Amino acid sequence: TLPTHVTLVEVGPRDGLQNEKQAVPAAVKIELVHRLQAAGLREIEVTSFVSPKWVPQMADNAEVMAGVQRQAGVRYAVLTPNMQGWQAAALTQPDEIVVFGAASEAFSQRNINCSIAESIERFAPVVAAARAAGVKVRGAISCAVGCPYEGDIAPERVALVARLMKEIGVAHVGVADTIGVGTPRRVQKALEAALLHYPINEVSGHFHDTYGQALSNVYASLEVGISTFDTSVSGLGGCPYAKGATGNVATEDVVYLLHGLGISTGINLDALIDAGAFVRDALGQPNGSRVARAVLAK
Ligand code: HMG
Ligand code: MG
């Protein structure tokens, strides 16, 4: 039987916008967060505390965090790859941080400029500091199914990174199909590998939709009992270190799927579609959500 409630972690402001070439004003990012929380999202990945040389779009991280009018019951998360990122992030009082590693050595090098083993060494003090401050830590496992440099990734690689993250105190892991190559059975295997080390409610799915498989992969994840997914409003995004990768599966499309299955999300689809339309209008881009396009065309 499928879960009866699913939590969606909105990653559009971070994963969605990080790859955007045009400078997006902080005010637009802040307004997007406000609209998302008004639509019922209760977990929002707001920004990342990474090098502005590597990802210029996230250079306004502190300004965006300061500008968000926080709503009770909403968790605001930020990415922190190292102690420098944690120290800057901590000043903005996030509810949650995300350390991001990879199941592929080559991707780890391109994305965070170190090996998998080195990344765990860098994360360890970040995780300890966050836990001491009462901040929850999630870990992202990139390239959990396939890698743009190494090709197919075996589930054992995912299990290894999950175990290493568990050992340093990461509370939750996200199994990420960074380049969207996964198909349902392979995604289930990657999730099951993470589930060797984490309970079912502490494993989430993070699926980019490059090959159009993400919704199928969400359904396949529900079949193994996964009830948390990272999604991106209007399908915003891509990853700067995964050439050609498109955005995460659109939040609107996942909400439509879940509500159609009788699974609650707490999200108001019409308000969510408005949030997606707002940001795509601000960017001057077509909407990447099929559901939003269909509803807006009516
Ligand atoms: P590095 O160059 O190895 O770091 O970068 P370093 O410690 O040698 O420092 C070099 C310079 O970077 C120094 O500045 C530091 O101050 C600065 P300089 O002296 O040259 O002027 N620096 C920083 N500045 C701001 N904030 C920091 C920070 N750390 C160092 N935290 C680093 C290592 C990880 C920082 C770098 O490689 C980086 O920023 N990479 C960007 C990674 C990124 O944002 N990727 C996209 C997000 S992950 C993702 O999208 C995947 C995910 O969605 C899941 C999936 O789909 O797979 C999560
Ligand atoms: Mg991603």
Residue nearest atom 24 of ligand 1, based on CA coordinates: 51
DSSP 145: S
Residue 44 pLDDT more than 90? yes
Which atom of ligand 1 lies nearest, measured to the CA of 100?
58
Question: Which residue of 51, 84, 157 sits with most ligand 1 atoms within 8 Å of its CB, as the best mutation to test the pocket?
Answer: 51
What distance in Å separates the CA atoms of residue 76 and residue 30, rounded to the nearest whole number?
Answer: 12
The amino acid present at 58, given as its one-letter code, is M
Residue 159 pLDDT more than 80? yes
Q: Which residues of 96-124 are buried (b: 16+ CB within 10 A; e: fewer)?
A: bbbbbbbbbbebbbbbbebebeebbebbb
Ligand in nearest proximity to the CA of 236: 2
Higher pLDDT, 19 or 93: 93
pLDDT at 238: 61
214: enclosing H helix or E strand = helix 214-223
Ligand in nearest proximity to the CA of 240: 1
- Indicate whether residue 47 lines ligand 1 (CB < 6 A): no
- Indicate whether residue 248 lines ligand 1 (CB < 6 A): no
Q: What are phi and psi of 223, to 5 degrees?
A: -60, -30
Which atom of ligand 1 lies nearest, measured to the CA of 11?
53
296 CA to middle of ligand 2, Å?
26
- Indicate whether residue 82 lines ligand 1 (CB < 6 A): yes
What distance in Å separates the CA atoms of residue 185 and residue 220, rounded to the nearest whole number?
Answer: 7
pLDDT mean over 270-274: 98
pLDDT mean over 143-165: 97
Which atom of ligand 1 lies nearest, measured to the CA of 84?
31
Q: How many CA atoms lie within 13 A of 184 on its CB side?
A: 9
Mean pLDDT value across the chain: 96
Residue 170 pLDDT more than 70? yes
Residue 113 pLDDT more than 90? yes
92 CA to middle of ligand 2, Å?
22
Confidence of residue 237 (pLDDT cuts 50, 70, 90): confident
DSSP 231: E
- Indicate whether residue 18 lines ligand 1 (CB < 6 A): yes
pLDDT at 240: 58
What distance in Å separates the CA atoms of residue 11 and residue 8, rounded to the nearest whole number?
Answer: 9
pLDDT mean over 261-269: 98
- Indicate whether residue 50 lines ligand 1 (CB < 6 A): yes
Confidence of residue 239 (pLDDT cuts 50, 70, 90): low
- Indicate whether residue 206 lines ligand 1 (CB < 6 A): yes
pLDDT tens profile 279-294? 999 999 999 999 999 9
pLDDT at 246: 85
The catalytic site residues sit at 239
Residue 135 pLDDT more than 80? yes
pLDDT at 245: 72
Write the burial class of residue 151 (CB in 10 Å: 0-12 exposed, 13-18 middle, 19+ buried): exposed
CB atoms within 10 A of CB 237: 24
- Indicate whether residue 178 lines ligand 1 (CB < 6 A): yes
- The mean-pLDDT minimum among 15-24, 60-69, 74-83 falls in 15-24
pLDDT at 72: 97
CA angle 17, 10, 42 (to 5 degrees): 140
What distance in Å separates the CA atoms of residue 78 and residue 90, rounded to the nearest whole number?
Answer: 10
Is this structure's pTM higher than 0.95?
Answer: yes
85 CA to middle of ligand 1, Å?
8
Q: Are 146 and 163 in contact (CB under 8 A)?
A: no
pLDDT at 45: 98
pLDDT mean over 162-188: 98
113 CA to middle of ligand 1, Å?
8
Residue 244 pLDDT more than 90? no
pLDDT at 174: 98
Residue nearest atom 2 of ligand 1, based on CA coordinates: 113
134: left (phi over 0), alpha (psi -120 to 50) or beta: left
- Indicate whether residue 177 lines ligand 1 (CB < 6 A): no
pLDDT at 255: 99
CB atoms within 10 A of CB 59: 15
CB atoms within 10 A of CB 238: 24
pLDDT mean over 68-97: 98
55 CA to middle of ligand 1, Å?
8
